[in-house]
Amino acid sequence: MKNKGVQGNLRVLAAQAKAVLASQATKAESRIVIAVIGKDRAGIMAGVTGLLAKIDANILDVSQTIMSDLFTMVMLVDIKVISVPFSKLKASLEAYGQSSGLSIIVQHEEIFRAMHRV
């Protein structure tokens, strides 16, 4: 009898662990990292954030600095409820970057983290 109780407890624990992992995967898949680099000028941040606001993306964190005349920004963005597919968001940000003389890189958070693991 004890063995069945232990097995039942193990099944419950395994199910809980699986649910936690699934939740973490969903969270990571719903977040992206956006890196922006280019010659500093007025309106860069407004242009990028305006595109994100139009599709209901939520900016979770942003780091921005200007080094001499070089603008740099990295953003963590929640795209869980965006109104367009990720591929369209990525294409529109990259197109905006090209038309504005900026380099804009858009990646899912888990890809970014995997690439920058030490």
Alpha carbons 37 and 12: distance in angstroms, whole number:
48
Alpha carbons 72 and 66: distance in angstroms, whole number:
6
Longest dimension (CA), the chain: 73
Q: How much is the pLDDT for 25? A: 45
Q: Using the predicted structure, report yes or no on whether residue 22 has a pLDDT greater than 90.
A: no
- Helix ranges (H only) for 1-118 are 2-29, 44-54, 86-100, 109-115
Closest CA to 79 of 109, 105, 104: 109
Q: Which amino acid is at 28?
A: A
Condensed to tens digits (0 to 9), the pLDDT of residues 62-87 reads 999 999 999 999 999 999 999 999 99
Alpha carbons 38 and 43: distance in angstroms, whole number:
12
Q: How much is the pLDDT for 91? A: 96
Q: How much is the pLDDT for 110? A: 79
Alpha carbons 66 and 94: distance in angstroms, whole number:
21
Average pLDDT rounded to a whole number, residues 10-35: 65
Q: How much is the pLDDT for 109? A: 85
What confidence category does residue 8 fall into, taking pLDDT thresholds of 50, 70 and 90?
low
Residue 33 structure tokens: 């990292």
Condensed to tens digits (0 to 9), the pLDDT of residues 28-58 reads 579 999 999 999 999 999 999 999 999 999 9
pTM recorded for the entire structure: 0.73
Closest CA to 30 of 78, 89, 83: 78
